[in-house]
Structure 1
Amino acid sequence: MTPRQREVLDFIAGHVRDRGVPPTRAEIAHAFGFRSPNAAEAHLRALARKGAVQLLDGSARGIRVLGAALAPGAPAIPNGNADAPAAAPAPPWDNGEATLLHLPLIGRVAAGSPILAQAHVEATYPADARWFARRPDYLLRVRGWSMRDAGIHDGDLLAVQAVREARPGQTVVARLGDEVTVKRLQREGAHWRLQAANPEVADILVRPGDAFAIEGVVVGLLRPQGWD
C-alpha cells in the first residue's frame, strides 16, 4: 500500500468514525486536492484490490472499510499476511452476506406528526444492510439543495437511524417547530446550530425555548436512478 493510499484509507475510516457514513468520491477528491472524483475512484479501486475496502454498488457512499483498517493509524497489512490483526467485529446484522432490509420511504412530513406515521410512507424499498455504517430504520427523500456540498442532492434518499441524541458534526434529521430538516449538528456556545452545506443557505441557530428535537442520524445515502 502506498503512503497516499494509506492516507486515503485513514481519511475514509475517520469519516466513518466521526460522521457515521463513508465519504463520497467528491469529498475524498476535495480533501486531497484531486482535480476530479476520478482520481479518488482510482485510489478506491486500488484499495479494493488490496483488500482494504469493499466497494458496494447502488450508493454514493458505498465504501466499506474492512478489518483492522478501521483503527486510526493502523499499519498497512500486505495481502496474505498470516500475522495480520484479526478483522474488526462486523455490525450485528452483517454476517458477510447480503441482508435485505425493507425500508419505508418517508415523503413530506405533516406538521406536528410523528415522522414514521403511516400517512407519510410513500413506498418501501429493499436495501442491502452492508451499504450502511449502522442499520437504518427508514429512508427520507431529500428536498432542496441545502446540503449540496456534503454530497446530498435534491431527490436523494437518506438512510436514517431513528435516535434522539447525536454528536456534533453528525448529519441529522431534526425537527424545529413544525418543520423537519436535514443539517449538520454543531455546537454554538451553549446552544445548537443546524449547519447547511451550501453557502447560499443560512444556518439555523436553535435558541432556548425553541421546539427542537433530533429525529435521527444519517447513516447512508442512496441515489435512485430508474427506481421511480
Structure 2
Amino acid sequence: MAAEHRARHGGHALDGRADGLTARQREVLDFIERCVQAHGAPPTRAEIAQAFGFRSPNAAQAHLRALQRKGVLALRDGSARGIQLAHAPAQDVLQLPLVGRVAAGSPILAQEHVEAVYPADARWFARRPDYLLRVRGWSMRDAGIHDGDLVAVQATPQARPGQIVVARLGDDVTVKRLQRHGQGWRLQAAHPEVADILVEPGEPLTIEGVVVGLVRPHGWS
C-alpha cells in the first residue's frame, strides 16, 4: 500500500508519519480520489458519511475541514460536491451552474433556475462551457442525449448549421440540432417520433448557446 501511495503522489510516502494525516483522514482522502476517478466528481458529505458509517454528514465535514487545514484539498461553499483535491490543476476545474426548468420568458441563468453548482474538469469538453442544462424528454435520443442528462453549454448568440444548440422560441427553451430551412431555420430532433420545428423568417428565434459536451449525472445530487 505504501508503494502504491508513493507511486501516485510523486514518490512521497503519504502515511500518517510523512504528511501528518491520521489513518482515517488518509482513508477519506483515498475515497474522494476514487470517486473522482470513477465518476468525474467528488462525493457529497452524505456519501462520505454513508461510506464510513458516520452518524451524520457533519462528521464527514469535520474530516474535510481537517484535510483542508493540512493542505491536501480545498472546500468550496455553495456546492454539494465542492471539494478540490490539491494535486488537481485548479485552472482546469470549472464551477458550473446547473439549470433546471426555465420559466417562460426569463433568462437561462436567472437565480431561480439554478439548482446547484458542480465542479467539472474543463478537459471533458470540446470548448469551455458556461453552464449545465438538464435535458427533459427524449427528442435528442439518437444524438446520445437522454432524458435527465446534463448538457454542457457555451453561452453564445451565434451557431453554425449542424451544431446542437439551446434555442429559445418565444417562451419555450429547447435543445435541438440547428439546420438551414430555406431562408429560415429547422430545429431538428434526433428521434423518429418527434417532429422538427420549422422557424420561418421573421419568427422569433434566439440562440442561447451551443452544446459542447454531455455529463451523465452518475448519482450527482
* TM-score (normalised: structure 2): 0.59
2:137 matched residue in structure 1 = 144
Runs of 5+ in structure 1 lacking a partner? 1-55, 60-95
Question: Is 1:194 paired with 2:171?
Answer: no
Q: CA deviation at 1:214?
A: 0.1
Task: Quote the Cα distance in structure 1 between the aligned partners of 2:162 and 2:115.
Answer: 29
CA contact (8 A) 2:183 2:200 kept: no
Question: Is 1:181 paired with 2:147?
Answer: no
CA contact (8 A) 1:141 1:158 kept: yes
Deviations 1:68-116 (A, max 9, x none): xxxxxxxxxxxxxxxxxxxxxxxxxxxx946111000001111111111
Task: Quote the Cα distance in structure 2 between the aligned partners of 1:225 and 1:132.
Answer: 17
Question: Is 1:220 paired with 2:213?
Answer: yes
Aligned to 2:157, which of 164, 167, 175?
164
Change (3 A) 1:58 1:192: farther
Task: Quote the Cα distance in structure 2 between the aligned partners of 1:162 and 1:137.
Answer: 6
* Equivalent AA in structure 2 for residue 181 of structure 1: T
Q: State the number of aligned residues.
A: 137
Bigger share in helix: 2
**Larger Rg belongs to:** 2
Task: Quote the Cα distance in structure 2 between the aligned partners of 1:173 and 1:137.
Answer: 13
CA contact (8 A) 1:159 1:219 kept: yes
2:103 matched residue in structure 1 = 110
* Equivalent AA in structure 2 for residue 201 of structure 1: V
Question: Is 1:207 paired with 2:205?
Answer: no
* Equivalent AA in structure 2 for residue 105 of structure 1: L
Q: CA deviation at 1:184?
A: 0.2
Task: Quote the Cα distance in structure 1 between the aligned partners of 2:201 and 2:177.
Answer: 19
Change (3 A) 1:57 1:193: farther
* Equivalent AA in structure 2 for residue 106 of structure 1: V
* Equivalent AA in structure 1 for residue 163 of structure 2: Q
CA contact (8 A) 1:100 1:128 kept: yes
For residue 149 of structure 1, give the secondary structure of its aligned residue in structure 2. helix
1:72-151 superposed matches below 5 A: 97=89, 99-151=92-144
Q: CA deviation at 1:208?
A: 2.3
Q: CA deviation at 1:211?
A: 1.5
Deviates more, 1:136-145 or 1:209-218: 209-218
Change (3 A) 1:57 1:198: farther
Runs of 5+ in structure 2 lacking a partner? 1-36, 41-87
For residue 193 of structure 2, give the secondary structure of its aligned residue in structure 1. coil
Deviations 1:188-221 (A, max 9, x none): 1111100000000000000122221000000000
Q: With CA pairs under 8 Å and 6+ residues apart, which has the higher RCO, 1 or 2?
A: 1
Runs ≥4 in structure 1, deviation > 6 angstroms? Answer: none
For residue 108 of structure 1, give the secondary structure of its aligned residue in structure 2. coil
Query: How well do the aligned residues superpose, as a CA RMSD in angstroms?
Result: 1.7
Task: Quote the Cα distance in structure 1 between the aligned partners of 2:101 and 2:177.
Answer: 20
